[in-house]
Amino acid sequence: MMTTFQRRSKKIVLSVLAALLFAMSNASVFLAYAAYSIEGKTLGANSPKKVTFSKDDADTCVGIVTSLERSHYLGLKFNDNLSSKILNRYVDILDPAKNLFTQIEINEFDKIRYWLDNTLEKGDLTPGYALFNIYLERSFERLNYIVINIDNWQKNFSFDGNDEIALDRKDAPWPKDKDELTRLWNQELKNAVISLRLEGENDEDITTLLSKRYKSRLNRLMQTNSEDAFKTYMNAVAMTFDPHTQFFPPRMSEDFDIQMSLSLEGIGAVLQSDYEYTKVVSLIPAGPADKSGQLMPGDKIIGVGQGISGAIQDTIGWRIDEVVNLIRGPKDTFVSLKIIPAGQKSSQNFKMVNIKRDKVKLEEQAAHKKMITLTRNGRAVNIGIITIPTFYLDFKGMQEDTNDYRSTTRDVLSLMQDLEKQKIQGLIIDLRDNGGGALQEANQLTGLFIKSGPTVQIRSRNGYMSRLDDPDPSVAYRGPLIVMVNRMSASASEIFAGAIKDYNRGIVVGTQTFGKGTVQALQPIESGQLKLTTAKFYRVSGESTQNLGILPDIEFPHIYNNDETGESSLDGALPWDKSRQASYTPYLALEPVITQLKEKHLKRVDGNPDFVYLKERYEFSKEIYNAKSLSLNARKRADYQQHLKQVELDIENRLRSAKGLKLLSSVDQLRDSGTDGGKGVDDEDEIVVEAPRKEEKEDILLKETEEIMGDFIKIAQFKGYKW
């Protein structure tokens, strides 16, 4: 701990050195505050313009620091410990691939590790901007080096030997010097050449394509301005608290999650920057991308083309707003996307998808139903299925007390009444890919299935626990209930599923949910807005929904990679914990029923070709995701790509064989534009042979849930369960 004298001395030194730093304009970039400087090049005439901060930036910084200390759930104070974490976060944001800074510079950065808290509290952004200017200069050196060497790659590079490129350098040591940086840049260029060769490009075209790609990135780097530096530094500060706490400047920029508005014509996806890529965060329910089945959360967009066969514009390194502008377009037109599928790290395994632009229709996002009939012991069993894409509520209509305003609960109640008229004996609520929405709707929807009691607990930063209750003793549906979830079921979906589970009102099937168990609020500041985490959700059992999410009673094969999606995949996510249990009265325990249902389920899916297929696809994607490096030996790389294609083809053909479909001769015959399944051409008679499409394969899970419900109905009746 610092003494008062040391802290005062620290601030005096800060003031003196800050003045010195501001005065320096054509010497080395000074960074260290304890009379220490970092050697670095002066930003030259051909380099990006040096960034500096303004008084408005300083005032906004003070506002951000104040809001974080006063309002964030964690109640953290700016001190030496937080300062150290901010530096780590900032360096990770600036150089996630560890191909810009050397260990020498990282050692120098350590000299200010415990000074950032003091400067931020005063609105002094000097250290953050000094680091950013070093980042700009080194980024310029990297891109300029690659551009210069592109024309000579055929002469300078050998594509044999045992050299490899690391796919994830997060845990790698920092390069020790400039020579090691240069080696990494050479590996990057060699990898790009090999990837394009494997795509079928000739060497002359490769040179042209790479020259255009890297010059484009260089041009975009030259457009970097002080606003970019401020936003990056402030988000490093904000996200040190938790990944959902972010600073939004007045104008949207590349780190702002951009949702394609429901009123605009596009593909219906939420996108964000992920280093040099544009990453798909989520899909808007019933939007064009969602309905196409070709895009999924975690996919990285690396190219965009207009029309089905239009030329693909390389978008690596682009600002996200520029990528969004390419993707948007008139209704009924197509956009082509070149993507790195979720869970894969290399553009070698890219996919092409074509999506028809359209407006997202609000009515298609509403809850909807269907009824299916199973046969059990020669008797018909009617099962109702209600799919809820999102938790929606017409706030304006509710406030104006109109009779016909739309809400999830009102719509589900109406649908259930229709299903009851058809004499259903069991009900499935499908919350797969439901990312949440109106919290009060999760509460009221739960109330349709329980007599009364609390549905969720909410803890604020001061430890005060509030809760939402269902005060209505009426129950709209009393029969067997199953809730379907998957990795993208989040927030309000987790609250509903958790309450149903805790009350023993039904069973949950699927996969572990997202784990979004925190509450965010927007606070206006001097220039922009700060989104910060203010509270945390807890189930009535006392378990948090944060990070861990809801674990299903019966687990299904995974569709999404948990390492790539979900709260636990986010750096700095708040942990799972427990709070006190609420006072509530659960129904009769369902564990004996669940045990029997599991046994029947496992017996039914053992050897089931559809379930085998889903598991094999997931394990295959995990194998690719877990790969640590790629060979830069052209022959070995081609062999590896052929191996991946053969494994994918074998998995597909095993499913086809089991279903009596014609086998494919190559993986290239999968024409479903980057999705599983597709069509294969019979070379003998030109007949197109259909394979199950992605959405049909995922409906396997719904069909199995229907079977589980059939068992549930029978067991519940036998054991005399009543709700």
Measured in whole angstroms, the distance separating CA 521 from the mean position of its chain's CA atoms is: 20
Q: Are strands 507-510 and 481-485 parallel, antiparallel or unpaired?
A: parallel
Whether 491 is a known active-site residue: answer yes
Catalytic residue among 411, 502, 676, 711: 502
- The DSSP-derived string for 561-595 is -TTTSSGGGSTTPPPP-B-PPP-----S--HHHHH
Residue 19 burial (CB count, 10 A): 10
SS3 content of the chain, % helix, strand, coil (to 5): 40, 20, 40
Q: What is the DSSP letter of 276?
A: T
Within 8 A by CB and 6+ apart from 138, the residues are 100, 101, 181
Which of 491, 621, 631, 673 is flagged as catalytic?
A: 491
Distance, in Å, from the CA atom of 333 to the CA atom of 123, rounded to the nearest integer, reads: 48
Question: What would you report as the CA-atom Rg of the chain, rounded to the nearest whole angstrom?
Answer: 28
d(Cα 80, Cα 86) in Å, to the nearest integer?
Answer: 10
| Per-residue tokens: 546 | 């944060």
Can you tell me whether residue 273 is helix, strand or coil?
Answer: strand
Q: Say which amino acid occupies 594.
A: I
| Of the candidates 244, 346, 274, the residue with the CA atom closest to the CA atom of residue 93 | 274
Catalytic residue check, 226: no
Contact 308, 326 (CB under 8 A): no
Distances (CA, A) of 241 to 94, 116, 361, 517, 543: 18, 15, 37, 15, 22
Q: Which residues pair with 303 in a beta bridge?
A: 314, 338
Tokens linked to 117: 């808290």
Q: How far apart are CA 468 and CA 442, in angstroms?
A: 10
Strand partners, 283: 269
CB 264 within 8 A of CB 328: yes
* Phi, psi for residue 50 in degrees, rounded to 5: -65, 135
Count other Cβ atoms within 10 Å, centred on residue 247.
28
Active site (annotated) includes residue 516: yes
C-alpha distances (whole Å) from 271 to each of 16, 213, 246, 434, 522 are 43, 21, 15, 17, 20
Copy the structure tokens of residue 411: 């719509």
Q: Which amino acid is at 635?
A: R
Place of tokens 């901010």: 86
Do residues 386 and 398 make contact, with C-beta atoms less than 8 angstroms apart? no
CA distance 42 to 530: 34
Q: Which of 338, 516, 697, 714 is labelled catalytic? A: 516
DSSP class of residue 511 equals S
H-type alpha helices, 110-152: 116-122, 126-150
**Distances from the Cα of 257 to the Cαs of 281, 289, 306, 680, in angstroms?**
8, 17, 23, 38
Cα of first residue to Cα of last residue in the chain, in angstroms, is 59
Cβ–Cβ < 8 Å for 456, 499: yes
Whether 665 and 653 have beta carbons less than 8 Å apart is answered as no
Q: Using CA atoms, how far apart are residues 668 and 649, in angstroms rounded to an integer?
A: 9
| 3-class state of residue 260 by DSSP | coil
* Catalytic site positions: 491, 502, 516
